[in-house]
Chains A and B, each alone.
Chain A
């Protein structure tokens, strides 16, 4: 430790100067302990869940990636759940990202800060709603109403090439991939909005003024100055939202329809990994239970990968922004 300690005034002759004050050492220890605690907890979770899932991986091998989840016949292929996790997360992003970026630009570039504050409060309130409330609202209020809307959309798109592939089908239900994706979209909007807003707010005012001085309209200024500056950060925000959407459990469990099927029809009931763990854990045993644990491990791995990529993207763009 040859580093100069700012707590010790240079050239001080006080006896205290000979060693670093107790407070500083204590603080360093405290910070280190907090940091390690998180790592230890994470490592313990990863180890114990993998251990409990071991019999699934060994019993099923690569068959864990088949579409056959049938506890009555001792078949535990998780593909339908992986598919459902991906589909609902994609729906959530497609719905939430444009809205979130729109709100972020509105708050930073369009309205006065005085007016922006109440909008920020309202958006942040969305993040405060407990996920079980989202789920119950989804299944009791939204799903019965959506059933009619979905049915009429499905009959409307009947025969149209791409649309009937996505929104058609016979098995229309209010609790479906799309409902789950929509609820997830509501849930990730606050985080994507607030992160994007912070990134967009760092655009140097002098660049913006420069664009206006060259005769740019507001839209030209946003697309030519703000967007290139904050693109990386916004992508990072979106990926963090994706991580949240993949892991969200109880709201998805309530509104996804709980049917382990792989279909392109978004209005059909589906299933995803967090929902199947929540639904089926209570009465499971043996390889069945190990399979549910194993999906937890897969989900853990997927979320870590997404988060690492998100961090990387954000850091790279931050570096580029500093360098520019």
Chain B
């Protein structure tokens, strides 16, 4: 009897220990660096790379991860689509090997990287559409100024003369405009507002950020798909939606006037054209919005993979070189079918050249 009771206690005590261990594991498992099983930089690598961040590049990351298995079957890559801000925090705290981010590290965040060099690898370009729901209007032209006035509720009706004058021959209905925006903070919002701030400085006063204080009356949806759904179900709605999601949801989108004065529709080719016309900083940061070029679509944005130049071990460095090299090389051919635009060859070459800076 005594013995049996003792046994039961041991079992119950074991349960508590297990629980505490599980809790401890929760806090530490994500920080554990991938086990380095090989220190050579030869062809066959093995280990795990963890990445997190931007949801904009998530679709590309997931298909690249699948395809990369045929190149390096021993390397497991995980990418967690948690948002650029969280991805950068995770990189700073050493939780992940690389971060995905749609914007460079903001100055207020620099200190968390403790002076260590972070390398920027641009991996893809994508257009943001201005999708709308107007029955009978199959093609619409917009200028940056008009877009800024629509999204700050200065133009509130579709038959406004500012819209009509750039759309001769289009019968615009007398219908109130409903603007559809993101409810979650987003790199898409960040770059769309950056476009308005750059291209229509006199008409845009709401600033640029991942979250904008939109005028009252804006309808907010979660993710690109949420905004697309609002546009689809609301007559007279206009919103900014990722090209991939706009196409997938079957939305109609406007042509936007670019820096050279031409009205260009969003497409893979016109996005690449915009990126080709931008100035790239020595650390490979740039903004693809409002790029010059006759066929450039002006609301184009970019996303980076961020890694530390100094890696803690040779295996991590080798795996990162292999994976990012793949994203910049063969991986670029995966982009167009997914609705993304490949990097212009000049930027791609600069990024490839930077791979040698990853050291251990």
Contact = CB atoms under 8 A, between A and B. Distances in A.
Contacts of A29: 13
B184 interface: yes
A141 to B, nearest CB: 12
B35 to A, nearest CB: 28
Query: Considering residues A175, A258, A282, which has the most beta carbons from chain B within 10 angstroms of its beta carbon?
Result: A282
Interface string A15-46: 01000011100110110011001000100000
A266 to B, nearest CB: 15
B89 interface: yes
Given A71-B211, A259-B216, A30 B9 contact: yes
Contacts of B217: 170-171
Contacts of A173: 219
A234 interface: no
A259 B217 CA distance: 8
A41 B233 CA distance: 45
A269 B220 contact: yes
B33 to A, nearest CB: 23
A162 to B, nearest CB: 22
B210 A286 contact: no
A66 interface: no
Contacts of B206: 72
Contact of A285 (B55, B108, B207, B218): B108
B162 interface: no
A281 interface: yes
A253 interface: yes
B83 A73 contact: no
B159 to A, nearest CB: 19
Contacts of B85: 281-285, 289
A254 B20 contact: no
Contacts of A30: 9, 12-13, 16
A107 interface: no
Interface in B105-126: 106, 108-109
B209 A71 contact: yes
A72 B9 contact: no
B285 interface: no
B213 A72 contact: yes
A227 B55 CA distance: 54
Contact of B211 (A26, A41, A280): A280
Interface in A243-301: 253-254, 257-261, 268-269, 279-289
Contacts of B16: 30, 33-34, 37
A98 interface: no
B212 interface: yes
A26 B83 contact: no
A283 B83 contact: yes
A144 interface: yes
B12 A26 contact: yes
A279 B109 CA distance: 20
A152 interface: no
Contacts of A178: none
A285 B102 CA distance: 13
A70 B210 CA distance: 10
Contact of B185 (A16, A68, A279): A279
A72 B9 CA distance: 58
A201 to B, nearest CB: 33
A69 interface: yes
A22 B106 contact: no
A186 to B, nearest CB: 20
Contacts of B222: 253-254, 279
Contacts of A41: 23
B187 interface: yes
Given A72-B211, A261-B216, A283 B6 contact: no
B48 to A, nearest CB: 23
Q: Give the one of A23, A69, A260 with max B CB within 10 A.
A: A23
A23 B11 CA distance: 11
B193 interface: yes
A257 B185 contact: no
B211 A27 contact: no
A34 B183 CA distance: 40
B179 to A, nearest CB: 11
B145 to A, nearest CB: 19
B321 interface: no
B213 A283 contact: no
B19 interface: yes
B216 A71 contact: no
Given A26-B12, A30-B12, A70-B213, A282 B20 contact: no
Nearest to A171: B217
B190 A23 contact: no
B220 A69 contact: no
A253 B189 CA distance: 18
Interface string B2-28: 100110111011001001100100000
Given A281-B185, A282-B82, A284-B185, A21 B209 contact: no
Given A30-B16, A72-B212, A269-B220, A282 B9 contact: no
B19 A285 contact: no
B219 A269 contact: yes
Contact of B208 (A37, A72, A287): A72
B25 to A, nearest CB: 14
Given A30-B16, A144-B233, A269-B220, A282 B214 contact: no
List of 9 A-B pairs having minimum Cβ-Cβ separation, nearest first: A282-B83, A72-B207, A26-B9, A258-B183, A72-B209, A283-B185, A23-B5, A283-B210, A258-B220
Given A21-B2, A26-B9, 16 more contacts: A23-B5, A27-B9, A27-B12, A30-B16, A34-B16, A71-B185, A72-B209, A144-B233, A253-B183, A257-B219, A261-B216, A279-B184, A282-B86, A284-B210, A285-B85, A285-B89
Interface of A: 16, 21-23, 26-27, 29-30, 33-34, 37, 41, 68-73, 144, 170-171, 173, 175, 253-254, 257-261, 268-269, 279-289
21 contacts: A23-B6, A23-B9, A26-B12, A30-B12, A30-B16, A71-B185, A170-B217, A259-B218, A261-B216, A269-B220, A281-B83, A281-B185, A282-B82, A282-B83, A282-B184, A283-B186, A283-B187, A285-B85, A285-B89, A286-B108, A287-B108
